[in-house]
Amino acid sequence: MKVMATNITFAGSMKISEKIEDALFGFAVGDALGVPVEFETRESLNRNPVQGMLGNLFLNQPPGTWSDDSSLVFCTCESLCNGYNLEDIAVQFSNWKNKRFWTPHGRVFTIGVQTEKAIKRIDRYIEMGLRIKPYSSEGVNEKENGNGSLMRILPLAFYLKDSPLDERYAITKDVSALTHPHVRAVTACFIYLQYAIALLNKKDKAEAYNEIQHSTLNFLQKKTDLKELNHFSRIFNESIGGFPEECLESTPYVIHSLEAALWCVMRHDNYRDTVLGAVNLGGDTDTIGALAGGLAGLLYGKKQIPEDWLSVLARKDDIIDLATRFASTMIPS
C-alpha cells in the first residue's frame, strides 16, 4: 500500500527542495569526506587530520565519492517520491545492491554485514513473489545493532515532519526493521529523526536537544523497556556536547555513532568544523561524518558547504533532481 506524504510547510520563503538539498548534500559531503579514511584510528588522524576532500586511499575511490550510507539515503528518497511504501523501499535497496542503482560510480564498493544479509532476504521474497515484510524484533541478537538503519533514516524527517508521534515511531520502526529490527537500533533512529524534525521546525540545536531530552524521552518511556533506554542515558540525562572527546567512541555500534554525531553537532557552530570534527574522530568515519553532516546541513544550509568540496562530489545534478522530485510530493495541493 502506498501512502502519500502529508502536507509539509516551512516558515518564510524557504523552498522545500532547498531544505532537502541542504540535508542530502550535507549528508553526502560528510560521507565522502570520511570514505578515504574509514577505519583509521583517532590517534593517526590526530597526527594527520582530514582537512578537505581526499581520494585514492581507502578502496581507491576518487575524491567526492560517497558510500553505501548515501546510496541508501538516496534510495529511500527515491521511494518516498511515490509516497510511503515499505515494500518499495526494500526493492530500492535491492536495486542498489544488484542493479547498481544510486551508486556514485556504477558499482557497490562497501556494504554492511547485516544490510547485505537483509537484502539477500529481500531478494528471496521478490523471487518468490511474496510480500516483503520487516524483520521481527523477537529473538534478535543484541549484537546486531550496527548503524546500518540509522545511516539511511534521514529522509523520513521530511515525510514525517507533521505526523503524530505514534505514526512517526511506527514508520521509523518498520523502516529500520528492514535491516535492523532490534529496539536499540529503532530507538537510535527515532532519536535522530526527532532531532532532525526539531531543526526543520526552526529550533536551534540547543532547543532541538532539549526536545530530545524531554518530549522524545517521555514518549519513548511509554514505548520502550526502561532497561533499553538506559543505553541512551548519556544523551537523555546529560549534555552529550559537554563530554570530552576521549569519552566518545566512534565505532559502527549504533549508540556510539549516534552519540558521536550529536556530539559533533553540539560542539561546533558551522558545517565545516562539524563534519571535519566527525571524520577526525576516526573509526566509522564515513557514517559518522554523514550523520553529523546531514544535521549540519539542516542547521547551516548547503551554502555553508565549502565549494571545493561540492565541486568534486559525485552526481551533484542527480542529487538536485532527486531533491526537487522528493519536494514535489510535499507541496500542499
DSSP string, 13-48: T--HHHHHHHHHHHHHHHHHHHGGGTT--HHHHHHS
| DSSP-based helix, strand, coil % in the chain, nearest 5 | 60, 0, 35
Within a domain: 4: no
Per-residue confidence (pLDDT) for residue 137, from 0 to 100:
84
pTM of the model: 0.95
Q: Tally the domains of the chain.
A: 1
Per-residue confidence (pLDDT) for residue 139, from 0 to 100:
75
Averaged pLDDT for residues 269-295: 98
C-alpha cell at 248: 566518545
The beta strand positions in the chain, using DSSP E, are: none
CATH number, domain with residue 182:
1.10.4080.10
Within a domain: 51: yes
pLDDT at 10 over 50: no
pLDDT tens for residues 79-123? 999 999 999 999 999 999 999 999 999 999 999 999 999 999 999
Within a domain: 102: yes
C-alpha cell at 115: 544490510
Per-residue confidence (pLDDT) for residue 332, from 0 to 100:
53
* Pairwise CA distance, residues 144 & 253, whole Å: 9
Within a domain: 54: yes
Q: What is the mean pLDDT of the chain?
A: 94
Q: Which domain holds residue 230?
A: 16-328
Within a domain: 1: no
Residue 246: CB atoms within 10 A of its CB come to 7
Within a domain: 333: no
Residue 165: CB atoms within 10 A of its CB come to 17
**Exposure of 30 in the CB half-sphere (CA atoms within 13 A):** 40
Give the distance between the most distant pair of CA atoms in the chain: 54
Per-residue confidence (pLDDT) for residue 330, from 0 to 100:
79
pLDDT tens for residues 158-193? 999 999 999 999 999 999 999 999 999 999 999 999
Residue 314 near residue 104 (C-beta atoms within 8 A): yes
